[in-house]
Amino acid sequence: MKIRYDFVTNSSSTSFVIISDGEFNFKDFIDAVGINYDSQFIDVYQGLFNAFVDDMEPARDYYNKHFSGRFSSFEEFIEQQLWKSGKEVLPKILEAEKKGKNVYIGELSSDTNDIECFFCTDEFIIESDKLYVDAQENGW
């Protein structure tokens, strides 16, 4: 048996879905989070916003690119793979698509920066009239 004595790490990820009335933008995001622009935490949420933007893809493109061979349909993928609350999220996604809203899927990772790693270690929902972010599928 070999025992490793130096630094060992495990990585983690949190999948997310974003539903936006229009373009996913910082103003709508900060309004949904509910902090002021002069908050001491604005940089933290700017970092989270950037992490979303860096990894998000249109939902059906994401499915087709990464999972279409593993699931019989987009709907099955949503219900069974990504979210613990998949049965609750799927109707929201389908309704948003009918209304012409933008639906994105992506992943936060603990292998990037401190801010993304921090948010990757928990599950959360951010919701407003213009924006819905579901990051409940945590893979720790």
Residue boundaries of the structural domains of the chain: 24-138
Q: Which two structure tokens, joined as six digits, stand for 67? A: 């999972």
Q: Residue 122: which H helix or E strand, with range?
A: none
- pLDDT tens for the 140 residues of the chain, in order: 433 344 444 557 788 999 999 999 999 999 999 999 999 999 999 999 999 999 999 999 999 998 888 888 999 888 887 656 667 889 999 999 999 999 999 988 888 888 888 888 778 899 999 999 998 865 54
Q: Which amino acid is at 107?
A: E
Q: Which residues on neighbouring strands pair with residue 16, listed in sequence order?
A: 106
pTM: 0.86
